[in-house]
Structure 1
Amino acid sequence: MKAAHSQSTKTLLLWTLSLLIAFSPLMRSSEACGVSVYWGQNLAQDGSLRELCETGYYSYVNLAYLATFGCGQKLALNLTDHCDPASGGCRSLSTEIQACQNRGVKVLLSLGGNNTEYQEICTAEDAKKVADNAYNTFLKGSNPDGPLGDVSLDGVDLDIEYPGSMGHWDDLVRALASYRSPQRKVYLSASASCSYPDTNLGKAITTGLLDYVAVRFYDDNLQCSCYAGTARILETWNKWSSSLPEGNQLFYGWWPSSNAGSQCKPEVFTNEILPVISSSPDYGGVMLREAYENVSILYPAAACCNTAGLHRKESLISVL
């Protein structure tokens, strides 16, 4: 009887393990996490899009930025010195974008930035128009004359930094999410100020429709600054983590640049901050404001989220 019971238990565990593996894409404990980066505003630092993706360090690349939109304005892409969208000079990026996607990197269109061209979305109807135009121009994949050529981006990122831009971002997120289907995943993300709640995107975040929120821990205030100490930073992280809607992931936004004076040094970030935040159940990874040549030091800590869940699965495997 003991042998039969043991065999029955082993069969049940094997069946359970098979379910864990089969449904792993739906489980937070096995979702792949990693590094997100903004590309398009720093020609010297960015390098080519293809080279960026070939490093193997990035899971998401945000094309920065769709700088003009909303309130009846025509959509306008601004990639600084990389290329000129108005003259069709950015259509050559379509092959680089596809090369990134072929490597499993998700390429998103980032709306906003710190310019003053967008400011607001005027009405819920305006939000729907912006979502429709952005989808048809950049995500649908049937517009060879579009700014990026005939390419289908993977989603949209909101980096709404203009002060007081509180209008209808939640309506925009809902309109973009309406394009999701069983056949098509449309990724949605947001870059939020570390001060909780984000005054611009707070309502959009609470919709629960975003895949991840990247909190900018390089904003110039004491909740973000290493001048205030890592304890204050981790306190702010925990506030965000405890308030994030179910199913969303939280990324730590870091700007490893000499022009961000209050930024934590790499050794402080990797030794004191990452080990703590990577244990959060909604930890998703690290967002970099721009490409970082030493990103390899971040990658191990950003490789997966909810390590406790992974340990539980490993325990199951060891029992078998």
Structure 2
Amino acid sequence: MVGNLLALATLGLAYGASQAQAYDNSRSDNIAVYYGQNSYGVANPNPSVWQKNLGSYCQDDVINVFPLAFLHVFFSTGGLPEINMANTCSSTASGVFPGTSLANCQFLAADIKACQARGKLVTLSLGGATGAASFSSDAQATAFADTVWNIFLGGSSSTRPFGDAVLDGVDLDIEGGGSSGFITFANRLRTLTSNKSKKYYLTAAPQCPFPDAYLGAVLNAVPFDAVYVQSTIIGADLRTSTTLMRGTSVNGSYPTLNLTRIIDLLDIRDTWAKTQSPNRDVKVFIGAPASSSAAGSGYVDAATLGSIVSQTRSQYSSFGGVMFWDASQVYGNNRIDAAVKNALGGSVTTKPLPTSTPPSTIPTTTRTTTTNPGSGSCGGVPAWNSGVAYVGGNQVSYNNHLWTAKWWTQADTPGGPAGVWTDGGVCRSKIATVASAAPTSAYAQVTSHLSEITESLVAHGAPTAVASLAKPTAADHDGLESRQAFRFFRRV
């Protein structure tokens, strides 16, 4: 009898502990951290500090939500999407399902389930800055919601990139390509995930300008659980449908994240949450770069950010916590997430990252060059041009060799230390053409769109120094995007 009571007591304690660790969306001290793009690795050529296995970041209780970044192409080969998680998993490094361009990342299933077992949410972030995430019709949006349900969530399919792991929901980080169809997509996803034994979450990462050009309508039409506002501001706040400049220019530079800006942002979003959102309990997270190398501007140190959020947390009942870009930057910056968590009232003990690299199923040649002398055919292949932005699969010739881009790149010399290019061997035929323009690509379209935004800002009265946006460079990307993970200006 005593033994049975002890066993029951132990079981009860274990159950209580698991319940205590479970994700609670009603709290105001949650930390969401994007994972997948190896942002810190861009500024640090030493592979030992690159993005580690997902499971490595789940060893303590600091981070509560991991949106996996990104599913960046909605409709690709075979009608299925594409995902790219930099050095962790990509179609180049991990292989694809037959007849598709969908990377096979099933080795991540164990890590995903281990993180979930610790009470963390692991969701899938759609979009990013590539602009290839869009719908041509509501019918297409409905079909895509079905696809996401079947291959990532609670449905069934023979092509499940994360194997038998069932993700906890979907995050929308739509920064290009258009806004049509997303209300239909989100509503269909809500229908598929409702009344299930498992709770599924729907989140979004709108830009700071309100309303968001791509997500504003869907946020007003569909109940979201949380919004991770990209509040790291370059230049001016664009608060309403008219341009309102806040702050004073100092030598052409505007202030970044500060208490006044956070109050402005939360005033607007708190009002939205309580008067416009279909879910009056939606939580608003303040987004911030996790280090100075995580964004071109907008970073504030842990003490400053902690002070800001602790002062504003009690003022807004919709406040949910802080979102960081990204996991590699968080750990590269002395666990800024833990410092902010403590500032929000949490008491956390951190654990260091293991020294292991990504799973052994990822080839060690992922970021190195391979050579097959004599196999390259350069007929009709343009010469490499440092001014051209290339995407994965683009081919060039350089130093009489054929090179194939592994992912987005610009100004990374083939054969150089960045390891962006795969050497196809010595050219067997001479170069027939010379590159004169960037290849047509989703990312090139985004670059073009940024120019349009700049012109729009100037037209609406923004100073040129504020409106100017530098085109993305090689330092901005690894996989799909890294340093400039979020775009801060939108036409409103």
Q: Alpha-carbon deviations, 1:209-229, whole Å to 9, x = none?
A: 110011001242322974474
The match for 1:101 among 116, 132, 151 is 116
Q: Kindly state the Cα deviation for residue 169 of structure 1 after the two structures are TM-superposed.
A: 1.3
Q: Kindly state the Cα deviation for residue 166 of structure 1 after the two structures are TM-superposed.
A: 1.6
Secondary structure of 1:92's counterpart equals helix
- The answer as to whether partners of 2:227 and 2:283 remain within 8 angstroms in 1 is yes
CA distance in 2, matches of 1:93, 1:236: 36
Amino acid at match of 1:154: D
The match for 1:34 among 4, 21, 30 is 30
Indicate the residue corresponding to 2:216 in structure 1.
202
- The answer as to whether partners of 2:266 and 2:316 remain within 8 angstroms in 1 is no
Amino acid at match of 2:342: P
Amino acid at match of 1:176: L
CA distance in 2, matches of 1:95, 1:211: 26
Secondary structure of 1:298's counterpart equals helix
- The answer as to whether partners of 1:210 and 1:248 remain within 8 angstroms in 2 is yes
Alignment TM-score, normalising by the size of structure 2: 0.52
Against the structure 1 CA distance between its residues 174 and 89, is the aligned structure 2 distance closer, same or farther, given a 3 Å change threshold? closer
Indicate the residue corresponding to 2:53 in structure 1.
48
Indicate the residue corresponding to 1:16 in structure 2.
none
Q: Which runs of 5+ in 1 are unaligned?
A: 1-24, 305-320
Amino acid at match of 2:110: T
The match for 1:186 among 200, 220, 226 is 200
Secondary structure of 1:192's counterpart equals coil
CA distance in 1, matches of 2:174, 2:307: 30
2:69 counterpart of 1:69: no
The match for 1:82 among 63, 70, 88 is 88
Indicate the residue corresponding to 1:13 in structure 2.
none
Amino acid at match of 2:128: G
Amino acid at match of 1:80: A
Q: Kindly state the Cα deviation for residue 54 of structure 1 after the two structures are TM-superposed.
A: 1.2
Q: How does 1:288-307 map to 2 (within 5 A)?
A: 288-291=324-327, 292-293=330-331, 294=335, 295-302=337-344
CA distance in 2, matches of 1:124, 1:83: 30
Amino acid at match of 2:174: I
Amino acid at match of 1:110: S
Indicate the residue corresponding to 1:170 in structure 2.
183
Against the structure 1 CA distance between its residues 66 and 303, is the aligned structure 2 distance closer, same or farther, given a 3 Å change threshold? farther
Taking every aligned residue pair, what percent have the same amino acid on both sides?
Answer: 28
CA distance in 1, matches of 2:311, 2:165: 38
Amino acid at match of 2:81: L
Q: Kindly state the Cα deviation for residue 84 of structure 1 after the two structures are TM-superposed.
A: 2.9
Indicate the residue corresponding to 2:288 in structure 1.
254
From the CA coordinates, give the structure whose radius of gyration is larger: 2
Indicate the residue corresponding to 1:57 in structure 2.
62
Indicate the residue corresponding to 1:318 in structure 2.
none
- The answer as to whether partners of 2:125 and 2:170 remain within 8 angstroms in 1 is yes
The match for 1:138 among 152, 156, 178 is 152
CA distance in 2, matches of 1:136, 1:253: 30
Q: Kindly state the Cα deviation for residue 142 of structure 1 after the two structures are TM-superposed.
A: 4.0
- The answer as to whether partners of 1:249 and 1:284 remain within 8 angstroms in 2 is yes
The match for 2:266 among 211, 232, 237 is 237
Q: Which runs of 5+ in 2 are unaligned?
A: 1-21, 42-48, 97-102, 239-253, 347-492
Amino acid at match of 2:164: D
Q: Kindly state the Cα deviation for residue 145 of structure 1 after the two structures are TM-superposed.
A: 4.2
Against the structure 1 CA distance between its residues 204 and 257, is the aligned structure 2 distance closer, same or farther, given a 3 Å change threshold? same
Amino acid at match of 1:48: N
More helix by proportion, 1 or 2?
1
